Structure 1
Amino acid sequence: MHLKLENVGIAVRDLDQAIAFFSDLGMTLLGRDTVSGEWADTAVGVDGNHAKIALLAAPDGDGRIELFEYIHPLAIEREPILPNEIGMHRVAFAVDDIDEALQAAAKHGCYPLRGVANYEDVYKLTYLRGPSDILVMLAEDLRGK
């Protein structure tokens, strides 16, 4: 059996805001759509599933994120997940310049949770909260610099 990771799906409060954030980090919007109907109900397991969606790709073409904003049923708010909680909690990006990536994030009001760490002069990395409180990790590889 061949297995390929297709994308990571993230529910957001505001699709346009999330697209702008991830685009400013360097992702490319591949397309947008609105989904609903019996097939969507069956696939997702939610009756009356109706959502606006967008698919974005990383510049290298390998990583993709599917963002979705629910129209029906209404999205359920919850407390933002903490880095040490069990479950899906972050999306990570390798960046060639963490300062530049942080400037792009700051345009959206998104800042490091605590600061930028230096891991044994191998990586500079940080966690920040993106739109809809998504935890985002940025990491710059320092080897060879």
Structure 2
Amino acid sequence: MAKSKLLRMDNIGIMVSDMKKTVAFFKELGLEVQGEATVEGKWVDKILALENVKCDIVMMQTPGSEVRLELSEFKRPKAISGEPAPVNTAGLHRIMFAVTDINETIERLRGHGAEMLDEIVQYENAYLLCYLRGPDGIIVALAQEL
């Protein structure tokens, strides 16, 4: 029997509390909306191991790539929120994007509530790098090739 093989990374899912704000943030970064839907019903309840689920979903895609970001906002049951986790918390750490101008990108994202975690640093003679927090404490890393 042939061994199954990985075909691609399809998407990264992020739970959000304010879809409109989060979509605006990622649009400002340069992602494009690919589709929107509301999901509910027994099949969703079974997949998520929750009851009476109703969830809005927006799929966004990076230009020139097949990788998508799936943003989900629960209408029911209500989303659980807490304090943003520090960057050394196990689990999903961050999403990194390559940009052409890190300073200009940061300024645009600040207009959507982004906060720098520290400062822009240079890694060798290769990259400028920084981490910032977007909506719901989502950690976004930016990299500018030198």
- Report the TM range for the smaller structure's normalisation: over 0.9
For the residues of structure 2 that align with 1:5 and 1:44, how far apart are their CA atoms?
20
Residue equivalent to 1:109:
113
Task: Using the TM superposition, name which of 67-76 and 39-48 deviates more.
Answer: 39-48
1:1-145 paired onto structure 2 within 5 Å = 1-3=4-6, 4-142=8-146
**Structure 2, gaps ≥5 residues long:** none
Alpha-carbon distance between aligned partners in 2 of 1:39 and 1:104, rounded to the nearest angstrom: 40
Distance 1:71 1:18 in 2: 16
CA distance in 2 between counterparts of 1:50 and 1:20 reads 22
TM-score, scaled to structure 1: 0.93
Q: Aligned partners of 2:126 and 2:21: how far apart in 1?
A: 32
Contact 1:81 1:89 in 2 (8 A): no
Query: SS where residue 59 of structure 2 aligns?
Result: strand
Q: CA deviation at 1:139?
A: 0.7
Q: Is the 8 A contact 1:12 1:67 kept in 2?
A: yes
What is the identity, as a one-letter code, of the residue corresponding to 1:26? Answer: G
Q: CA deviation at 1:81?
A: 1.3
Partner AA of 2:82 in structure 1: R
In the TM superposition, structure 1's runs of 4+ consecutive aligned residues that sit over 6 Å from their partners are: none
Percent pairwise identity: 39
Q: CA deviation at 1:60?
A: 1.4
The AA in structure 2 aligned to 1:31 is G
TM-score by length of 2: 0.93
SS in 2 for 1:2: coil
For the 8 Å contact 1:51–1:71, the answer to whether it is kept is yes
- Give, in whole Å, the separation in 2 of the partners of 1:49 and 1:2: 32
String of CA shifts for 1:92-144, please: whole Å, max 9, x gaps: 111121122112211112131111111112111111000111011111111xx
Q: Which amino acid aligns with 1:73?
A: P
Q: Can you give the 5+ residue segments of structure 1 that lack an aligned partner in the other structure?
A: none
Amino acid at match of 1:68: S
